[in-house]
Amino acid sequence: LASCPTTSTSSLYVARRGFSSESAPERKVAILGAAGGIGQPLALLMKLNPLVTKLALYDIAGTPGVAADVSHINTRSEVAGFVGEDQLGEALKDSDVVIIPAGVPRKPGMTRDDLFNINAGIVKSLSTAISKYCPHALVNMISNPVNSTVPIASEVFKKAGTFDEKKLFGVTTLDVVRAKTFYAGKAKVNVADVNVPVVGGHAGITILPLFSQATPKANLSHEDIKALTKRTQDGGTEVVEAKAGKGSATLSMAYAGAIFADACLKGLNGVPDVVECSFVQSCVTELPFFASKVRLGTNGVEEVLGLGPLSEYEKEGLEALKPELKSSIEKGIKFANQS
Ligand code: NAD
Ligand code: LMR
């Protein structure tokens, strides 16, 4: 298989040949958690996306201000702010894509799983509303721990009778963004040309960058590959520590979230060969959810692509990540079914 994403930095918001964004169909995007650290810059980036015609910004507080601000930008979409549960239905109604960066971020010393107790409940209630008000939307889950929040959403949708495995995505694009940046720095190649698939999940060792498939090829030593792998796995923690108690990645995450949402919109609009890595329901391994390259189409996931050839080091990483990923998935499923 070819290397991972086709929507590179340079192609964000640039229509592919034969697909004019001005004549693209009307598309509504809702952001839940839109007043937060990720939500605000993500609202800005989605306002800049010519594929969006309606942008609904929802949060429990603060969205009227964010919406008023963003709405003055002279681009295609109409922006509306929604605040509080009473307005959640209106925010979601008719959405094609719902992006969820709602919930608390990490502080130094915390794992993503430490966020479970608060974020699981938030994701559960937002997923319940999605199943009621826009059951056909593509859901882009950013809230951590992604390895558990995606299974929670799937169980909520199953109970509501609205689950479609083609429409639920854990957003792992930031892992790909980091892997590309770190690889380009080490390999001394143009970052805009770099592709690196990242598979597995979105926490620590469950993040498995496949540098053996990275392009352009470079002659990196095994020590270099090990260091790049560790830095990609610890990328989130690097930012959490640098922010020293003021949260986790927000700007790079907004960028990554905007790339992934743009890929979903392009897929919905029938643009061919849109491939991104994402944490989805999967048969690639024995685990029910797994991140790998996914081809996006008019119904969401068109094809979950396989892993391709792995190095011995990557094969070991794959086996090592499975127990943790399995237990995070099971934790999410159990939570959704017991409460
Ligand atoms: P933040 O605290 O700055 O913003 C979160 C927002 O969610 C706040 O505005 C808050 O009011 C809102 N919120 C809380 N409960 C809500 C509810 N029930 N409905 C709607 N909105 C609600 O946090 P942040 O830095 O924006 O991070 C948000 C989440 O994204 C965290 O869980 C973080 O761990 C995660 N994250 C994921 C990735 C990834 O790669 N998937 C990357 C970075 C951060
Ligand atoms: C990230 O990878 O930056 C996010 O998952 C946030 C975090 O807690 O590290």
- Summarize pLDDT for 277-327 with one digit per residue, the tens: 999 999 999 999 999 999 999 999 999 999 999 999 999 999 999 999 999
Q: How many residues make up the chain in this entry?
A: 339
Q: Is the shortest distance between the CB of 33 and ligand 1 below 6 Å? A: yes
State yes or no: pLDDT of 21 exceeds 70: no
Which among 294, 319, 6 has a CA at the least distance from the CA of 150?
294
Q: Which residues are annotated binding-site positions for NAD(+)?
A: 33-39, 59, 119, 142-144, 253
Q: Tokens 């094609």 appear where?
A: 96
Query: What are the angstrom distances between the C-alpha of 65 and each of 20, 82, 134, 233, 309?
Result: 32, 10, 25, 35, 49
Mean pLDDT across the chain: 94
Q: pLDDT digit string (tens) for 76-109?
A: 999 999 999 999 999 999 999 999 999 999 999 9
Say if residue 319 is exposed, middle or buried (CB neighbours under 10 Å; 0-12, 13-18, 19+).
exposed
ipTM above 0.90 for this complex: yes
Q: Is the CB of 121 under 6 A from ligand 1?
A: no
274 confidence band (pLDDT: 50, 70, 90) = very high
Task: Please check whether residue 140 is in contact with residue 260, taking contact to mean a CB–CB distance below 8 angstroms.
Answer: yes
Indicate the pTM of the whole model.
Answer: 0.95
Q: For residue 88, how far is its CA from the centre of ligand 2 (angstroms)? A: 26
Q: Which residues of 219-244 are buried (b: 16+ CB within 10 A; e: fewer)?
A: ebeeeebeebbebbbbbbbebbeebe
More confident residue, 14 or 322: 322
Of the candidates 72, 136, 202, 222, the residue annotated as catalytic is 202
**For residues 46 and 80, what is the distance between their CA atoms, to the nearest angstrom?**
13
Q: Is the pLDDT of residue 7 over 90?
A: no
CB distance 307 to 199 below 8 Å: yes
**Residue 299 DSSP label:** T
Q: Write the pLDDT tens digit of every residue in 27-81.
A: 999 999 999 999 999 999 999 999 999 999 999 999 999 999 999 999 999 999 9
Which residues of the chain form beta strands (DSSP E)? 28-32, 54-59, 78-83, 97-100, 138-141, 168-170, 198-200, 207-209, 274-281, 289-297, 300-304
Question: In degrees rounded to 5, what are phi and psi of residue 276?
Answer: -140, 155
Is 194 close to ligand 1, i.e. is its CB under 6 Å away?
no
